[in-house]
Amino acid sequence: MSKMPIIFVFSDKKDRLPEIIAGALALGEDVCAFVVGTDEDAQYAASLGAGVVYTFAPQQDVMLEDYAPSFSALVAGCGKKAMVLLPPSKRGRALAARMGVQLGAAVANEVTKVEIADSVTVGRMVFGGLASGSEKITSPVCVLTLSSGSFEPAAPDASRKAELKQGAFVPPAIMPKVVGQTPKQGSSVDLCKAKKVLCVGRGFAKKEDLALAENLATVIGAELGCSRPVAEGEGWMERERYIGVSGVMLKADVYFAVGVSGQIQHMVGANGSKVIIAVSKDKNAPIFNFVDYGIVGDLYKVLPGLTSLLK
Amino acid sequence: MKIISCCKIVPEEQDISVNNDKTLKLDTAGLKISLYDLNALEAGVELAATQEGSTVTALTVGAKVSTSNTKVRKDILSRGADSLAVVGDEALAGILPGETAKIMAGAAKKLGFDLILCGEGSADLYAQQTGLLLGELLGVPTINSVGKITINGSTARVERDLEDEVEIVEVPLPAVLSVTTDINVPKIPSMKAILAASKKPVEEISLADAGYSSAPASTVLSILAPDQADRKREIIEGDSEEQIAAFAANIRKILN
């Protein structure tokens, strides 16, 4: 695989920068980081392996996305084939799209695979994870947001030094004004990172019965997840917990389905798990085509039994 | 105020199955309004109700086989927009957001607008780009993840629902906003709305009228279902005490 002559990186979230710089180091010859912040932030980008760091002073009342023209000017100015790598956060996506238009560059979000030859080919999930799409990029510059987990994060090494430069803020022609910001309680759960997930489906007759699943989850140390109807139809659990198309895509060691029928739209979210276990009273439920271990039985009998046996 | 609410017509995901060669079988799938765009349609109608003399035009762009579907067209109009504008052409099958946005920009210029609303992504590609690309192409402010919109004269005050914070932004109009699924609860059309939908005007806009010439920066090579992992499929049939114990033994093997 050949390498991109230069890759520009930016992350609105500090904890995503190591992964993005790792991706840039793997895919590019030179890595140039954009930082909106302090000299310390610039040193951090350098310690991760960026060869050049442009630091932009934070502007009052300006959305981070409105740095797009400033970043684009530097990318366009490099005069080479180039790639821009960003995190798939909301701000990352907004920056990607805007820089894409400004640079006449192809944009692809949540990219899971990047291949560089004469042109760049990227892979990403489509149809809510039912399939993987492969896209061929023909523009000389491309802007990608990297799916989480695509690259092993780079480790900081304070002995690494970068060429430090001052970035100039180029305001967009029309600029919205930030008038307020309130931190919010992040969702307490991130199922993508859970090692064990116990997933409840429509097999439960009522919300109170989920206690049976909670008890078992506690015993085996699993996070609770659910199928889409449980979150969206019944509203028994928050949306962050539903697994499948346009929901969570698991990378768990163990996925344990209880009362889940196993439609393909759900299973695409579960198939990334190493081991799949299921309880369902319906012998013909599609879930049994996808399991390692299953039991055809009444969950109201099986769950309490398992909970006491596995204690 | 002139509002354009954008919506994509997509295959019903519950109807999609996988062919033996791992391609997706889409031709037998029903068509529907992309789920996330229902919120854009609803937001347009709700905002129009707060601004006297407003109109809402629904805009859809895509392959003719989707956009010419009369049932979905009627469904769009029954959600409360005053009219529907359609750019449908065979050449648009399988295009990526970069091209969709160019066509939408051409159509939006032709229709005129103060505010364009998009969903947060499409149910098929879910690239979450189109609204942002559209705004940038039109040279107007463009903001994603919008959970609330209040119009104050020539400004929209929006709340952005970001991962760790809510950001409040004053956006000069015209603008393009992509809304979240939490911004509203789309209403189920009443019988009256469904009947009224068939009397509403539909405007067909050609690719030439939208000023579009194809020059994609990226194209789709393939869309394939992932390989299924091999599973053990050790299934116990029955829930007697012994069978539950055998199942527990299986689980213990993995947990330890």
Mean pLDDT value of segment A133-140: 96
pLDDT band per the 50, 70, 90 thresholds, residue B83: very high
Check if the beta carbon of residue A247 is closer than 8 Å to that of residue A269: yes
How far does chain A reach from its first CA to its final CA, in angstroms? Answer: 51
Residues A108 and A207 in one domain: no
The pLDDT assigned to B32 comes to 96
DSSP H or E run through B254: helix B241-255
Mutation target vs B (from A14, A61, A71, A93; most B CBs, 10 A cutoff):
A93
Residues A200 and A156 in one domain: no
Helix, strand, or coil (residue A248)? strand
Q: Is residue A176 part of a domain?
A: no
Mean pLDDT value of segment B151-169: 95
What is the 8-class DSSP label of residue A263?
-
By the 10 Å C-beta count (0-12 exposed, 13-18 middle, 19+ buried), B164 is classed as exposed
Strand B142-152 to B24-25 pairing:
unpaired
Distance CA A114, CA A63 (A): 29
- Residue B142: strand pairing partners: B176
Other CB atoms within 10 Å distance of the CB of residue A31: 28
Q: B125: which 2 tokens?
A: 């590609």
A177: left (phi over 0), alpha (psi -120 to 50) or beta: beta
Q: Is residue A268 part of a domain?
A: yes
Identify the residue with better confidence: B181 or B172: B172
The pLDDT assigned to A186 comes to 59
* pLDDT tens figures, B193-247: 999 999 999 999 999 999 999 899 999 999 998 877 789 999 999 999 999 999 9
B156: left (phi over 0), alpha (psi -120 to 50) or beta: beta
* pLDDT tens figures, B33-66: 999 999 999 999 999 999 999 999 999 999 999 9
pLDDT tops 90 at residue A17: yes
* pLDDT tens figures, A80-129: 999 999 999 999 999 999 999 999 999 999 999 999 998 999 999 898 77
pLDDT band per the 50, 70, 90 thresholds, residue A28: very high
A94 with B142: Cβ contact below 8 A: yes
Q: A130: which 2 tokens?
A: 């039912």
A91 with B162: Cβ contact below 8 A: yes
Task: To the nearest 10°, report the CA torsion of A251, A254, A258, A262.
Answer: 50
Check if the beta carbon of residue A180 is closer than 8 Å to that of residue A119: no
What is the 8-class DSSP label of residue B208?
T
- Domain holding A113: CATH number? 3.40.50.620
- Domain holding A247: CATH number? 3.40.50.1220
Residues A98 and A227 in one domain: no
The pLDDT assigned to A45 comes to 98
pLDDT band per the 50, 70, 90 thresholds, residue A255: very high
The pLDDT assigned to A188 comes to 65
Chain B nearest-CA distance from A185, in A, is 7
Q: A298: which 2 tokens?
A: 């009444």
B229 with A271: Cβ contact below 8 A: yes
Q: Does A300 touch chain B (CB under 8 A)?
A: no
pLDDT tops 80 at residue A261: yes
Q: A63: which 2 tokens?
A: 């959305």
Residues A130 and A203 in one domain: no
The alpha carbon dihedral of B28, A130, A128, A234 has a sign of: positive
Residues A55 and A140 in one domain: yes
The pLDDT assigned to B29 comes to 93
Check if the beta carbon of residue B51 is closer than 8 Å to that of residue B154: no
Residues A230 and A302 in one domain: yes
Q: Is residue A179 part of a domain?
A: no
Domain count, chain A: 2
Residues A8 and A142 in one domain: yes
- Which of B123, B94, B95, B86 lies closest to B210, judged by CA? B86
pLDDT band per the 50, 70, 90 thresholds, residue A187: low
Q: Is residue A184 part of a domain?
A: no
**Strand ranges for B28-141 from DSSP E:** 31-33, 55-62, 83-88, 115-118
Chain B CA closest to residue A102: B136
Residues A43 and A140 in one domain: yes
Check if the beta carbon of residue B87 is closer than 8 Å to that of residue B205: yes
Residues A159 and A201 in one domain: no
**Chain A to chain B, count of Cβ pairs less than 8 Å apart?**
245
Q: Is residue A273 part of a domain?
A: yes
Range of the domain at A230: 191-310
- Residue A248: strand pairing partners: A243
Q: Is residue A235 part of a domain?
A: yes
Of A109, A137, A305, the CB nearest to B129: A109
Q: Is residue A229 part of a domain?
A: yes
Q: Is residue A174 part of a domain?
A: no
- Residues in chain B closer than 8 A to A305 (CB atoms): 239, 241, 244-245, 248
Residues A18 and A146 in one domain: yes
Residues A49 and A162 in one domain: yes
B172 with A283: Cβ contact below 8 A: no
- Which of B42, B36, B5, B44 lies closest to B121, judged by CA? B36
- Residues in chain B closer than 8 A to A302 (CB atoms): 239, 244, 247
Chain A CA closest to residue B11: A127
The pLDDT assigned to A247 comes to 78
Residues A258 and A298 in one domain: yes
